[in-house]
Amino acid sequence: MPSAGKDRQFRLHIPPGYRSDQPIPLIINLHGTGAYAEGQEQYTSMSSLADRESFIVVYPQALGETPAWDLEPGEQNIDIAFIRDLMSLLENRCAINLTRIYATGMSNGGGMTNRLGCDLSDRIAAIAPVAGAYAYFGVCPISRSVPVIAFHGDADESVLYEGTGSPELLNVVSGVFPPIYYWAATWALRDGCASRPAIIYQKQGVLGEAWQGCNDEAEVILYTLAGAGHIWPGSSLLPGEPSAIDASELIWAFFEKHAMSP
């Protein structure tokens, strides 16, 4: 499809039993740096989940020899324009519940998920970044409180849990990322949630914390995985013992709870 003067690509999965007279949810699922739409589909197993739960999932493709999403805020961002145009294309061609459009993504795709939650809060109902790289995270002109669920390993060597770079360069330099807990707490503040989170899950090295009491019935949930690296928890492609949690399953359960007001 054309967008902002570029030819853009995406991979679309429609579940069996889809009917043009029955609008269903849409999930936008974004790959990380150096990755591709097809690999993101395989890594997250979200298409098989879509078949079971009856939602549409689209895997957009970033540009570049090493594909990556542009995380800078502002109207000049052609990736934000691409996602906006892609949403409009799918809304015109598919039966989509416009109150149930969601975004998720891995790593740089998690950072782009955060960007969409900020810049397209009028169209994205909730976001679910995984191992996200949150450049420019503080520039976030939301028009409503956005529900957020996120996952991050505290031993992630690609996107450090404790953050990267000098604090004074946050929101100024693309390679400077906030501490993950601070990023989640900032979303909680932005959404008008309680100042401290409640523990909702604690098992096998996984800690789930939820900031509740937010405006517009939003909530912010952060799952921290002790000793885990740069992963999508629960992926069948990961070696070794399976994670105590399945990110794709938890993401869908979270999205089911949160729709935009019509």
**Tens digits of per-residue pLDDT, 101-110?**
999 999 999 9
- Whole-Å CA distances, 55 to 7, 47, 82, 83, 96: 26, 9, 21, 18, 9
Is residue 41's pLDDT more than 90? yes
Asked if 29 contacts 41 with a C-beta cutoff of 8 angstroms, the reply is yes
**Counting beta carbons within 10 angstroms of the beta carbon of residue 36, is it exposed (0 to 12), middle (13 to 18) or buried (19 or more)?**
middle
CA 261 to chain centre: 20
For the segment 155-177, the average pLDDT, to the nearest whole number, is 95
| Residue 56 confidence (pLDDT) | 98
Sequence-ordered list of residues with C-beta below 8 angstroms from that of 111, at least 6 positions apart, any chain: 69, 71, 105, 129, 132, 133, 134, 135
| Residue 239 confidence (pLDDT) | 86
In this structure, CATH architecture of domain 2-257:
3-Layer(aba) Sandwich (3.40)
Dihedral sign from CA coordinates of 169, 173, 179, 180: positive
Asked if 223 contacts 151 with a C-beta cutoff of 8 angstroms, the reply is yes
pLDDT top residue among 262 and 120 = 120
For the segment 53-67, the average pLDDT, to the nearest whole number, is 98
For the segment 178-187, the average pLDDT, to the nearest whole number, is 98
Determine which helix (DSSP H) or strand (DSSP E) holds 50, and give its type and residue range: helix 46-53
Among residues 128, 133, 83, the alpha carbon closest in space to that of 107 is found at 133
| Residue 222 confidence (pLDDT) | 98
Determine phi and psi for 27, rounding to 5 degrees. Answer: -115, 130
Query: Is residue 74 very low, low, confident or very high in pLDDT (cuts 50, 70, 90)?
Result: confident
Q: What is the pTM of this model?
A: 0.97
Determine phi and psi for 251, rounding to 5 degrees. Answer: -65, -45
- pLDDT tens column, 190-249: 999 999 999 999 999 999 999 999 999 999 999 999 999 999 999 999 988 788 999 999
Q: CA–CA separation, 251 vs 120, rounded Å?
A: 19
| Residue 211 confidence (pLDDT) | 98
Q: CA–CA separation, 131 vs 65, rounded Å?
A: 22
For the segment 50-58, the average pLDDT, to the nearest whole number, is 98
Fill in the amino acid letter for 152: H
| Three-point CA angle 63, 67, 69, nearest 5° | 75
- pLDDT tens column, 113-143: 999 999 999 999 999 999 999 999 999 999 9
Q: CA–CA separation, 35 vs 62, rounded Å?
A: 9
Average pLDDT, the chain: 97
| Residue 96 confidence (pLDDT) | 98
Query: Is residue 11 very low, low, confident or very high in pLDDT (cuts 50, 70, 90)?
Result: very high
